[in-house]
């Protein structure tokens, strides 16, 4: 019941869609914001006579309570259920130039709890207000804060007050993050201090002012840090300023959008504002979807703000999905359709259905309020027949060929495999389970055979022995180039006589440590997942399936090679694994059953001087061991003139050709350095090859969504790729980090072929889960590539956020010493050593824990995250709110939680429709529009925000 108290958020935050802000006296702490020209100058700070800011004339002042509407404070009190308005669908029609009418999507309207409840508040401590005379904001708060400011659409400012770090991220040009250095005002991790930040634009110059002082000290203009940056001429003006803040204790995220110069027509702005207020992470997609869903005339001026690329993408999807939308000409008798129906039938019958009042009470008390699986004794004849039919259909549909060469089990074997998988994925959505049930391993009679030939790493060959025994001095590496904590800072650039740094010269003057890596929202020092960037080269690299053949070393090597090509600008073209396998010098009967490693991959392509496209030599694991094919004239050679470069470690005689290896055991006293090296290599080359232990640790039912905290082994048996990393909060409320690892066991294994492991692992481990990391050291030279049409530069009028934007905002604000511990309220989906798999997870550990670790599903309580959104324009505020079922849900590219229902009482119905039909729309450019086309019941549900 305690969580229901947070429903009161809705009562306060969304009650008024359009509220006139009250006028109050300016707050007493507005010194820095009220007179930004009065601060004394010290070592290049303000009051430079040449700065053009003498005196206080026209100085920006704080707009009277532009956001001080007490809406950052959320009243607590008795929860009240939402009340539908008398007219649940108010419509405002605004004529457009095309003669069509645009119907804004109304926000839910709820009643407001009366006066007394507002006395007890949940507060977001970081406050912001719009400046009166200039385009800018003033932000104040405690030094323990982390927040972000976006000067839309051109600059993002990251403020880590605790660590005295402020960073700028220009969006114009191929720019990087810039550290703001030489700040004399420092928080020094003092929780009793407060900061004041003023950001504003004057005469095309961004001015930043920063002040730190004790909480109760008198406001002063003395010794304020001032930084100035000249902004180049841009095609678009700054349109708004967005401020993002968090209250981690109560699961609140607040986003404010201050409109400062909206050039978009009013009718179009109404649509984009609704998208923002409904929590959309891709406003352009939502905006475009709304225009199409509301059937706005294509000549309407609002279509001018949709990019050409977006129009082309959605038109392409419309052509592909047309038959699905109409429900016509669909081959209902296809095996694919029959398999989908079979999976739906199985998932509908494999859970118990409670009929009596006593059974319903039992269901309520059942762990996690989830459905309970039937037992083998309750397996009925209908389900038995369906299980056999399911595997028959899966064999016809599956392209891996695994079921062609393994005995299919009977209904009991299949049932046991399926139950094991479902128990490993408690509380998972129907859509995800539908995907999981396409794993052919579920139909094996002898499930232990599945993993045997899924491995294939071997380090025993004499000619590659040095790969795992290379001895090096960690101290040497500390002195090398692998310290990734070196940022581009503003003191690298010359200032003019007024202390202004010209950002237009940034890309010409900066000194990059790597010519290939630029930190951005998809890959930086804290987070990296380039597969989230759907327009990027690396995201086009698909998950591979090695089948029943131990060629993991080839698949890991070729993915690493392909990401290097992407990072060097050669584009992605899928290379042939079968060509490499069949051009090995080994006996053909050893190819699938005697493992190898990436060194042999390099030796094969170096010796043949050739690496064709997958389309020229397609992979099928039963073809491994055939003759090495002779390249044909029309084949493309992806290896081209690539050269293997020598690598010599400092003060050592040993030289490796074409690769560098790092064994984690040599870093046992300095794992931080090992992690820095891996991050640096991923940043520069897109991925690394990782040696891991899979036997008795990872299997067909492995849950890839959570973060596994596992040990490694002295002898690895499998090669995979680390393709990214990120942060998470474990069950004890501790902030930790994970590796994102891609396997070659198919899309339906793990989390779409990937899984996550804690970077450090349990403290009692003798070996880290990542045994060794290998990276190629090659010069690609001139490579022949197929001709492609020149890609135009992508332009969008609206901002697009990374899927992890809200999660990282929350994570960076969270501190483990909070009085309010997340383990009492917020549980991540971290899968530690589960009771029923304990032996598998701790087989390589030296001192396994004594306590049994129960399945998290038995004690995990999901915590809602409330995202409060505000749009401020002309002293009026529009509010929106989105509730996420858990913090992890804020990581997703798309979320059905953002589904909008005109009738609040029917929101769950709309949300369920989104979930049930997600599979049909997940690959659409605009899943929201796809869902809108499928939903024909009425006009209540709106999906463009998902």
pLDDT tens column, 267-281: 999 999 999 999 998
**CATH 3.90.70.10 residue ranges in the chain?**
462-476+487-779
Predicted confidence (pLDDT) at residue 861 exceeds the cutoff of 60:
no
Strands 865-873 and 252-259: parallel
**What is residue 517's predicted lDDT score, i.e. its pLDDT?**
59
Instruction: Give me the phi and psi of 260, to 5 degrees please.
Output: -120, -25
Count of beta carbons in the 10 Å neighbourhood of residue 367: 15
469: exposed, middle or buried (Cβ count in 10 Å: 0-12, 13-18, 19+): exposed
C-beta contacts of 713-717 below 8 A and 24+ residues apart: 713/767, 713/771, 713/844, 714/766, 714/767, 714/844, 716/457, 716/459, 716/691, 716/692, 716/771, 716/772, 717/455, 717/456, 717/457, 717/595, 717/692, 717/693
**CA 938 to CA 234: how far, in whole Å?**
44
**CA 811 to CA 815: how far, in whole Å?**
8
CA neighbor of 300 nearest in space, from 105, 95, 96: 96
DSSP string, 130-154: EBSSSEEEEEEEETT-EEEEEEETT
Q: What is the mean pLDDT of residues 741-770?
A: 96
Q: How confident is the model at residue 756 (pLDDT cuts 50, 70, 90)?
A: very high
Q: How confident is the model at residue 414 (pLDDT cuts 50, 70, 90)?
A: very high
Predicted confidence (pLDDT) at residue 556 exceeds the cutoff of 90:
yes
- The two structure tokens encoding residue 507: 């890309």
**CA 755 to CA 770: how far, in whole Å?**
13
**What is residue 853's predicted lDDT score, i.e. its pLDDT?**
28
Contacts of 534 (CB under 8 A, 6+ apart): none
**CA 361 to CA 358: how far, in whole Å?**
5
- Answer for the pair 125, 141: CB distance below 8 angstroms, yes or no: yes
Three-state secondary structure call for residue 385: helix
- The two structure tokens encoding residue 448: 């232990």
Q: How confident is the model at residue 284 (pLDDT cuts 50, 70, 90)?
A: confident
Contacts of 778 (CB under 8 A, 6+ apart): 564, 642, 643, 644, 645, 658
Q: What is the mean pLDDT of residues 88-117?
A: 36
**CA 235 to CA 171: how far, in whole Å?**
12
Contacts of 763 (CB under 8 A, 6+ apart): none
Instruction: Look at 75-79, 130-134, 226-230, 389-393 and tell me which has the smallest mean pLDDT.
Output: 75-79
Each residue's pLDDT tens digit, 356-408: 444 444 444 333 345 789 999 999 999 999 999 999 999 999 988 899 889 99
- The two structure tokens encoding residue 641: 């003139």
CA–CA distances in Å: residue 519 to residues 368, 410, 468, 544: 40, 52, 32, 28
Q: How confident is the model at residue 650 (pLDDT cuts 50, 70, 90)?
A: low
- The two structure tokens encoding residue 633: 């004239």
Predicted confidence (pLDDT) at residue 200 exceeds the cutoff of 70:
yes
**What is residue 689's predicted lDDT score, i.e. its pLDDT?**
98
**What is residue 460's predicted lDDT score, i.e. its pLDDT?**
53
Instruction: Look at 142-156, 725-739, 811-825, 896-910 and tell me which has the smallest mean pLDDT.
Output: 811-825
Highest mean pLDDT pick, 89-98, 319-328, 457-466, 603-612: 603-612
Higher pLDDT, 818 or 944: 944
**CA 114 to CA 269: how far, in whole Å?**
32
- Answer for the pair 652, 662: CB distance below 8 angstroms, yes or no: no
Contacts of 734 (CB under 8 A, 6+ apart): 816
Predicted confidence (pLDDT) at residue 128 exceeds the cutoff of 90:
yes
- The two structure tokens encoding residue 73: 């404070």
Predicted confidence (pLDDT) at residue 676 exceeds the cutoff of 50:
yes
Contacts of 103 (CB under 8 A, 6+ apart): 91, 92, 93, 294
Burial 185-224 (b: 16+ CB within 10 A, else e): bbbeeeeebbbbbbbbbbeebbbbbbbbbeeeeeeebebb
**What is residue 798's predicted lDDT score, i.e. its pLDDT?**
80
Q: How confident is the model at residue 353 (pLDDT cuts 50, 70, 90)?
A: low
Predicted confidence (pLDDT) at residue 98 exceeds the cutoff of 60:
no
CA neighbor of 39 nearest in space, from 377, 499, 365: 499
Predicted confidence (pLDDT) at residue 342 exceeds the cutoff of 50:
yes
Q: Using only C-alpha atoms, what is the Rg of the chain?
A: 29
Block residue for tokens 């009718």: 267
Higher pLDDT, 31 or 422: 422
- Answer for the pair 289, 926: CB distance below 8 angstroms, yes or no: yes
CA–CA distances in Å: residue 925 to residues 312, 317, 928, 930: 10, 7, 9, 9
**What is residue 796's predicted lDDT score, i.e. its pLDDT?**
66
Highest mean pLDDT pick, 147-151, 503-507, 816-820: 147-151
- Answer for the pair 572, 541: CB distance below 8 angstroms, yes or no: yes
**Strand pairing partners for 209?**
198, 226
Predicted confidence (pLDDT) at residue 774 exceeds the cutoff of 90:
yes
Predicted confidence (pLDDT) at residue 286 exceeds the cutoff of 70:
yes
**What is residue 354's predicted lDDT score, i.e. its pLDDT?**
54
Three-state secondary structure call for residue 653: coil
Q: What is the mean pLDDT of residues 123-129?
A: 91
Predicted confidence (pLDDT) at residue 312 exceeds the cutoff of 90:
no
Q: What is the mean pLDDT of residues 242-268?
A: 91
Which helix (H) or strand (E) is 316 found in, with range?
helix 308-326
**CA 34 to CA 21: how far, in whole Å?**
20
- Answer for the pair 10, 110: CB distance below 8 angstroms, yes or no: yes
Q: How confident is the model at residue 820 (pLDDT cuts 50, 70, 90)?
A: very low
Predicted confidence (pLDDT) at residue 90 exceeds the cutoff of 50:
no
Block residue for tokens 């020094």: 188
Q: How confident is the model at residue 554 (pLDDT cuts 50, 70, 90)?
A: very high
Predicted confidence (pLDDT) at residue 221 exceeds the cutoff of 90:
no
Each residue's pLDDT tens digit, 700-726: 999 998 899 999 999 999 999 999 999
Highest mean pLDDT pick, 23-37, 71-85, 136-150: 136-150
Q: What is the mean pLDDT of residues 830-859?
A: 33
Mean pLDDT of the chain: 77
Q: How confident is the model at residue 60 (pLDDT cuts 50, 70, 90)?
A: low
- The two structure tokens encoding residue 902: 């005109």
45: exposed, middle or buried (Cβ count in 10 Å: 0-12, 13-18, 19+): buried
Domain 462-476+487-779, second-level architecture? Alpha-Beta Complex (3.90)
Block residue for tokens 């309407």: 300
| Residue 32: CA count within 13 A, CB half-sphere | 29
Catalytic residues: 552, 718, 743
Q: What is the mean pLDDT of residues 853-865?
A: 46
**What is residue 360's predicted lDDT score, i.e. its pLDDT?**
45
**CA 458 to CA 864: how far, in whole Å?**
47
pTM of the model: 0.79
**CA 258 to CA 139: how far, in whole Å?**
13
Q: How confident is the model at residue 493 (pLDDT cuts 50, 70, 90)?
A: low
Predicted confidence (pLDDT) at residue 508 exceeds the cutoff of 70:
no
| Residue 182: CA count within 13 A, CB half-sphere | 11
**What is residue 827's predicted lDDT score, i.e. its pLDDT?**
40
Q: Percentage of residues in the chain with pLDDT exceeding 90?
A: 48
**CA 40 to CA 750: how far, in whole Å?**
58
Instruction: Look at 14-18, 267-271, 644-648, 764-768 and tell me which has the smallest mean pLDDT.
Output: 14-18
């Amino acid at each position: 019941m305690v969580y229901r108290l947070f429903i009161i958020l809705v009562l306060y935050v969304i009650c008024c869609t359009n509220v006139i802000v009250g006028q109050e006296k300016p707050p007493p702490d507005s010194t820095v914001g009220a007179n930004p020209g009065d601060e004394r100058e010290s070592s290049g700070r303000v009051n430079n006579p040449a700065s053009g800011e003498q005196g206080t004339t026209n100085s920006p002042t704080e707009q009277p309570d532009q956001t001080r509407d007490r809406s950052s404070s959320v009243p607590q009190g008795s929860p009240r259920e939402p009340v539908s308005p008398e007219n649940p669908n108010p419509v405002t029609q605004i004529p457009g130039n095309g003669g069509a009418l645009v119907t804004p999507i109304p926000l839910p309207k709820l009643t407001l709890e009366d006066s007394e409840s507002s006395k007890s508040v949940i507060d977001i401590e970081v406050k912001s207000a719009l400046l009166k005379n200039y385009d800018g904001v003033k932000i104040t708060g405690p030094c323990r804060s982390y927040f972000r400011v976006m000067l839309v659409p051109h600059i993002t400012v990251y403020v880590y007050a605790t660590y005295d770090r402020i960073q700028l991220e220009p969006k114009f040009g191929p720019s990087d993050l810039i550290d703001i250095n030489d700040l004399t005002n420092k928080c020094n991790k003092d929780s009793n201090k407060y900061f004041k930040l003023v950001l504003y634009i004057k005469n095309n110059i961004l001015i930043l002012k920063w002040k730190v002082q004790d909480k109760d000290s008198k406001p002063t203009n003395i010794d304020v840090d001032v930084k100035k940056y000249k902004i180049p001429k841009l095609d678009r003006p700054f349109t708004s300023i967005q401020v993002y803040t968090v209250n981690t204790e109560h699961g609140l995220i607040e986003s404010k959008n201050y409109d400062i110069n909206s050039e978009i027509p009013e009718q179009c702005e109404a649509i984009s504002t609704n998208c923002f207020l409904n929590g959309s992470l891709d406003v352009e997609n939502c905006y475009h979807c709304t225009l199409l869903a509301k059937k706005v005339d294509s000549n309407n001026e609002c279509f001018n703000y949709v990019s050409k690329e977006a129009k082309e993408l959605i038109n392409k999807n419309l052509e592909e999905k047309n038959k699905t939308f109409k429900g016509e000409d669909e081959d209902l008798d296809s095996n694919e359709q029959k398999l989908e129906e079979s999976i739906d039938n199985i998932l509908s019958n494999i859970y118990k259905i409670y009929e009596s009042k006593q059974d319903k009470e039992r269901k309520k008390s059942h762990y996690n309020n989830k459905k309970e699986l039937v037992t083998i004794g309750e397996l009925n004849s209908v389900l038995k027949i369906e299980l056999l039919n399911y595997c028959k259909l899966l064999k016809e549909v599956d392209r891996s060929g695994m079921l062609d060469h393994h005995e299919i089990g009977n209904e009991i074997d299949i049932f046991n495999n399926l139950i094991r998988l479902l128990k490993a994925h408690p509380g998972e959505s129907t859509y995800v389970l539908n995907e999981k049930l396409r794993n052919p391993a579920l139909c094996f009679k002898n499930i232990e055979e599945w993993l045997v030939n899924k491995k294939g790493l071997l380090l025993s060959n004499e000619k590659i022995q040095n790969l795992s025994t290379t001895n090096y001095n960690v101290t040497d590496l500390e002195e090398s180039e692998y310290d990734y904590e070196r940022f581009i800072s503003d003191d690298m650039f010359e200032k003019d006589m007024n202390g202004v740094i010209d950002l237009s010269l940034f890309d010409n003057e900066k000194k990059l440590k790597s010519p290939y890596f630029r930190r951005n929202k998809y890959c930086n020092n804290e987070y990296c997942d380039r597969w989230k960037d759907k327009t990027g080269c690396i995201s086009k690299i698909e998950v591979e399936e090695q089948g029943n053949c131990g060629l993991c070393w080839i698949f890991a090597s070729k993915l690493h090679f392909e990401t290097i090509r992407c990072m060097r600008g050669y584009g992605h073209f899928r290379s042939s694994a079968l060509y490499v396998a069949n051009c090995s010098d080994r006996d053909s009967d050893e190819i699938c059953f005697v493992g190898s490693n990436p060194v042999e991959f390099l030796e094969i392509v170096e010796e043949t001087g050739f690496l064709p496209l997958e389309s020229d030599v397609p992979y099928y694991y039963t073809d491994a061991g055939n003759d090495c094919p002779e390249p044909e004239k029309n084949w493309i050679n992806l290896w081209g003139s690539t050269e293997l470069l020598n690598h010599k470690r400092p003060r050592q005689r040993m030289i490796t050709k074409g690769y560098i290896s790092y064994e984690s055991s040599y870093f046992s006293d300095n794992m931080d350095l090992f992690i820095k090296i891996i991050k640096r290599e991923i940043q520069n080359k897109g991925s690394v090859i990782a040696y891991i232990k899979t036997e008795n640790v990872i299997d067909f039912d492995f849950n890839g969504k959570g973060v596994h905290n596992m040990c490694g082994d002295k002898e690895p048996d499998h090669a995979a790729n680390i393709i990214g990393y990120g942060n998470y909060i474990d069950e004890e409320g501790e902030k930790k980090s994970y590796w994102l690892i891609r396997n070659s066991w198919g899309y339906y294994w793990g989390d779409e072929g990937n899984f996550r492991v804690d970077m450090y692992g349990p403290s009692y481990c003798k070996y880290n889960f990542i045994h060794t990391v290998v990276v190629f050291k090659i010069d690609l030279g001139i490579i022949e590539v197929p001709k492609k049409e020149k890609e135009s530069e992508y332009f969008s009028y609206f901002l697009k956020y990374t899927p992890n934007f809200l999660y990282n905002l929350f994570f960076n604000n969270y501190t483990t010493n909070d009085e309010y511990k997340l383990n009492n309220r917020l549980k991540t989906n971290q899968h530690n050593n589960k009771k029923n798999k304990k032996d598998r997870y701790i087989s390589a550990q030296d001192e396994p824990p004594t306590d049994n670790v129960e399945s998290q599903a038995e004690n995990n309580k999901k915590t809602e995250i409330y995202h409060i959104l505000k749009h401020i324009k002309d002293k009026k505020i529009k509010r929106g709110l989105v509730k996420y079922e858990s913090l992890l849900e804020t990581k997703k590219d798309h979320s059905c939680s953002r589904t909008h229902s005109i009738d609040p009482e029917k929101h769950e119905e709309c949300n369920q429709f989104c979930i049930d039909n997600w599979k049909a729309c997940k690959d659409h450019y605009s899943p929201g529009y796809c869902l809108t086309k499928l939903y024909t019941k009425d006009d209540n549900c709106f999906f463009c925000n998902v």
